[in-house]
Structure 1
């Protein structure tokens, strides 16, 4: 987006891909929901990229402007939209000075994940001219037919770059599939596998959400919520809080090392690590404002995971079945792992419960309201801490 493009937009009438607003009310929940609804409607409408221009009167196209320095950051806008829309909708923010007034332009990119819906009530919105309306049955069917592969993991991360990928991991993945990579076929293979994606308009190649999670050591630059936060409440001679980031395999291995450092030797730390593995594989990565958290205490150890078990997969306290939310990530991780970390005898929940037989009960808390899942283990009070 540049100033010339903005001036051309202001000359146009509102439509499916263009909305003028005098201001955004993002101080209230109602205003945040309205923004998510508008972004969702524009993203679902055909016609390439869409724009919300803030600071322009819609009928007269008069440039009124916004209060300088008061507009929310791009990160805040992304958080508002991503926490209320599913799959995540790629957006960006530009601030311009035009005719001595400041304007904000939110760009809604033309992604491959249509149709998008508002999480709160599951509605799908679309623009009809300059108004927002719910999608009709045939519009939904058409959008689904155009986008048969609805993987959240293949959503583009707009400002990412291929340079942030660890090519050793990329090569290892394809080699495990029996494919040798070289300079000639590497870019094609990565795009075919959903690791990267090419913007339809700019032809710029960016990395997908899943590509960053699995294949980038520095993905926290783009997706800072990808972390495991470990809180140590039992040892005074080591750090109180550990932040573990990196590619998903590194996060699992480093978390395991820290957990074993903190817990007494005879404690079944592998059961805690099993909970972390499940959280890393199946967490809701569209929850951009929360991380996986492990709190280690004398009375309990709690692993909190953003993303509840999907309805129908959570039966009762004795019978759990994890819905594989991130099948794209799951396939990549299993392939790279080669049977070292994930292919164990017994299911994850069974492993956790059996580890504490005669020591206490492992509890599983599934919350649809907070979109979270917790595993609560017995604490270390029954074990000796050296």
Structure 2
């Protein structure tokens, strides 16, 4: 930490990864919990490192200064270690700035989210500049992104095996050979396509429904694409393959340009459907056909706060829904999903003569958008 870094932090407004505080009091258990709560919230929020800057008035950013006696690093780390699970790694720094001594607690980027408060079991995140209790879907999203749970292997109790397209399933299993009784039933469970519930009944998982379901939106209302062209809106449902095919066919009919690189649209749409945040049940994927561009947006910012520029150059990026992606590679015939890691670069290259393609990562809205030039 140095003066330049302090200057940069003071230029910013409070947000998910930055908090200004006038003082630090750790005399009571309540005050210790408040510090831990803020640290947990910043650690759980999207992005890289976070900072709590002490000795600064939060509204005006007036420099007040601190007493270094109140900031014993060993004590602060011990407080956080004993009250957070997993413990959040932090560092305490002092820096003089414009004749005033300030303290900074750096909260390092965590690969062990979600962190929770041990005393009450609560999970916290930052909503803008405010610390708040995380919602169930937000907790599940953090667990999925960090490999603690796999959303796709959760069973759908209201669904049945008859909701799955048996021809698609047979196509998937055609090259697999397993001996013994009921080999298909065994494979369905081993691959995470089905699970047995209390009465020993085999039911499909969310992942199986997305891949093989006749109409996944009956059980997963977020599984759809809304395609907008002028005032007309097309609501497209089905399994992932049928959604991509039907949407791309409609887009071709709307654009009517034989020289347009439609593979770029197909790639962007495939990415949006595979790597979207399915825990966000209030939104689907949206495709908006405009005069000068095509916008494809999906709920689910890049995993772990990755920046699109860094993601675009990564041949093996960190992906949301890796279970779904891996199974698609096995069954996919049209090769839409094979090279998702380099998809951004390929889209950029395919559209280079048309104009600049834009990737917009909106972490605060948990949204990712691709804007393709026409």
Q: Specify the TM-score bucket, using the shorter chain as the normaliser.
A: 0.5 to 0.7
Whole-Å separation in 2 of the counterparts to 1:339 and 1:268: 16
1:133 to 111, 121, 139: 121
Alpha-carbon separation, structure 1, partners of 2:303 and 2:237: 26
* Partner residue in 1 for 2:224: 227
**Distance change >3 Å, CA 133–CA 346, structure 1 → 2:** closer
Does 2:274 correspond to 1:277? Answer: no
Which of the two has higher C-alpha Rg? 2
TM-score with structure 2 setting the length: 0.57
Q: Give the root-mean-square deviation of aligned CA atoms.
A: 3.1
Q: Count matched residues.
A: 238
Change (3 A) 1:156 1:345: closer
* Residues 156, 203 of structure 2: 8 Å contact kept: yes
Shift of 1:216: 0.8
> Match of 2:302?
309
The residue that corresponds to 2:283 in the other structure is: 290
Evaluate the alpha carbon distance shift between residue 257 and residue 125 of structure 1 in structure 2; reply closer, same or farther with a 3 A threshold.
farther
Deviation at residue 346 of structure 1 after TM alignment = 8.6
Question: Does the CA-based 8 Å contact 1:171-1:180 persist in structure 2?
Answer: no
Alpha-carbon deviation of 1:232? 1.2
The equivalent position to 2:193 in structure 1, one of 192, 195, 198, is: 195
- Give yes or no for contact 2:267–2:336 (8 Å, CA) kept in 1: no
Question: Which residue of 1 is the match for residue 84 of structure 2?
Answer: none
Relative to 1, partners in 2 of residues 1:166 and 1:181: Cα closer, same or farther, differing over 3 Å?
farther
| 1:215 pairs with one of 192, 212, 215 | 212
Query: Residue 359 of structure 1 contacts residue 378 of structure 1 at CA under 8 Å; is this kept in 2?
Result: yes
Task: Tell me the CA shift for residue 300 of structure 1.
Answer: 2.1
- Relative to 1, partners in 2 of residues 1:181 and 1:212: Cα closer, same or farther, differing over 3 Å? farther
Tell me the equivalent position of 2:95. none
Residue-by-residue CA offset, 1:28-54 (whole Å, 9 max, x unaligned) = xxxxxxxxxxxxxxxxxxxxxxxxxxx
**Distance change in 2, residues 1:181/1:331 (3 Å):** farther
Deviations for 1:83-104, whole angstroms, at most 9, x for unmatched residues? xxxxxxxxxxxxxxxxxxxxxx
Q: Does the aligned pair in 2 maintain the 1:274–1:352 contact within 8 Å?
A: yes
How far off its partner does 1:360 sit?
Answer: 1.6
Return 5+ residue gaps in structure 2 as ranges. 1-112, 124-142
Shift of 1:134: 4.4
Question: Deviations along 1:240-272, whole A, 9 cap, x unmatched?
Answer: 222221111111111221111111222222211
Q: Is the 8 A contact 1:213 1:219 kept in 2?
A: yes
2:159 aligned partner: 160
Q: Output the CA distance in 2 between the equivalents of 1:203 and 1:373.
A: 40
Asked if structure 2 preserves the Cα contact closer than 8 Å seen for 1:210 and 1:329, the reply is: yes
Larger mean CA deviation between 220-229 and 180-189 belongs to 180-189
Alpha carbons 1:197, 1:208 under 8 Å: kept? yes
Unaligned runs of 5+ in 1: 1-120, 136-143, 234-238, 380-386
> 1 or 2, which has the higher helix percentage?
2
C-alpha separation between the residues in 2 aligned to 1:181 and 1:336? 21
TM-score (norm 1): 0.55
Say which SS state the counterpart of residue 316 (structure 1) adopts.
helix
1:377 aligns with 2:349: no
Return closer, same or farther for 1:123/1:268 CA change in 2, 3 Å cut-off: same
Q: Give 1:206's match in structure 2, choosing from 196, 200, 203.
A: 203
- In 1, the alpha carbon distance for the partners of 2:321 and 2:341 equals 21
Q: 1:259 to 1:183 in 2, by over 3 A?
A: farther
Aligned-residue offset at 1:219: 1.3
Structure 1 residue 301, shift from structure 2 partner: 1.2
Residue in 2 aligned with 1:333? 328
Task: Give the match's secondary structure for 1:359.
Answer: coil
